[in-house]
Amino acid sequence: MRFSLSLLFVILSVLLAGVLACKDPYNPETVDYGQCASATKANYEVRSDSKVLTPADLPADELAVHESRMRHIIDIARVNNKKFVSSIYFPNGTLACIGINTGKPNMIAHGEIVAIQNCTEIHGISMYTNYSIYTTGEPCSMCASAILWSRFKTVVWSTYNSDLYCKICMSNIPIDSSYIFSRAYGLGIEAPVAIGGVVKAEGDAWFGTYCNRPTSIYYIAPKCACQDPAKVSPLKFTQTRTTVWVEGGDKVVTQWNAIISNPSNSTIVDPPIVISPSVVFKGAPWGISAASEPNTYKLSYNKVLFPGQTFSFGYSVYGLEEVAFTALEA
């Protein structure tokens, strides 16, 4: 009995040692971990942008609260003569603290970052679950990420990033905050409720314009496709990813087939097709050709689309996501 127990112990030890042993030497090319084998090329789940609510989506009483909080920070912005001011509210609706982007001590001291640090310092808050954050200008990609990491429940802004960059020539990283918020799944959390354009006219007026001030440190000549919503044609785009490959070990390229269809009753001739946000194609697209205006393409042939008719084109692009096309009225 004593012998068989010892033997069992020895056998178990050997088995366990086999299971727990380090693979030595450790080779990241062969060791598997997580859900992708180490030698595979990993890609994130493709997500479309999460929804941004506008004042029109909100009940009047809730909108009134957001408007008054937004006016409060726009007032602080005017008094301090700074563009970007942020405020944070406790879950019970009491103002917790504010943050002003003064450009000091460095370039990442944006209003939201300053407010988060400020509230943490004053109130010792480390997680902002159920808190709300307000900002005169839509969170940049850095601040949107900080808002996700901090677990805010609601984020409200007045002026959109796309307007700051495209309409008033203010330098900015051209990423909508919703692009970051839609990746909340990576932290295992829900995206915050995002509300844009609250007292937009006042916010936009406060930002003013830099387009006529090319010597300002904020000035940029923006690269944007400008669309007049009144001039968008009824043409529809249906896209299918046909091929995915990896170049140079780490650059994912996808090939897409796109079909333009004319669901309307009228014949559409030679529509300009704009791309927003702009992208760099891998090689030239086929079936459409670059026009003289930036981010604009035209059909290469068969330029007349009768009612019900379709037109196919294709392209390759870096990344996994399709390019966003809109056809304008000819």
Ligand X SMILES: *[C@@H]1O[C@H](CO)[C@@H](O)[C@H](O)[C@H]1NC(C)=O
Which residues make beta-bridge pairs with 184? none
Give me the least distance between CB of 163 and ligand X, in Å please: 25
Give me the least distance between CB of 127 and ligand X, in Å please: 7
* 313 secondary structure, DSSP code: E
SS3 label, residue 291: coil
CB closer to ligand X, 103 vs 214: 103
Q: Tell me if 85 sits within 8 A of 101, measured CB to CB.
A: yes
Q: Tell me if 31 sits within 8 A of 38, measured CB to CB.
A: yes
Give me the least distance between CB of 203 and ligand X, in Å please: 19
Angstrom distance (rounded) from CA 270 to CA 228:
17
Give me the least distance between CB of 97 and ligand X, in Å please: 3
CB closer to ligand X, 83 vs 288: 83
CB closer to ligand X, 124 vs 249: 124
* 281 secondary structure, DSSP code: B
Give me the least distance between CB of 109 and ligand X, in Å please: 9
Angstrom distance (rounded) from CA 299 to CA 312:
9
CB closer to ligand X, 153 vs 298: 153
Give me the least distance between CB of 26 and ligand X, in Å please: 39
Q: Which residues sit at the interface with ligand X, rule CB under 6 A?
A: 90, 92, 94, 97-100, 114, 118, 129-130, 263-265
Helix (H) or strand (E) holding 235, with range, is none
The residue whose two tokens read 């060791």 is: 31
Give me the least distance between CB of 145 and ligand X, in Å please: 20
Q: CA angle, 315 as apex, 310 and 319 as ends, to 5°?
A: 130
- Strands of the sheet containing 85-89, edge to edge, are 52-53, 193-195, 154-159, 132-137, 85-89, 95-100
CB closer to ligand X, 293 vs 329: 329
Angstrom distance (rounded) from CA 120 to CA 268:
58
Angstrom distance (rounded) from CA 75 to CA 56:
23
Over its C-alpha atoms, the chain yields an Rg (Å, rounded) of 26
The residue whose two tokens read 């994912």 is: 252
CB closer to ligand X, 119 vs 168: 119
CB closer to ligand X, 86 vs 178: 86
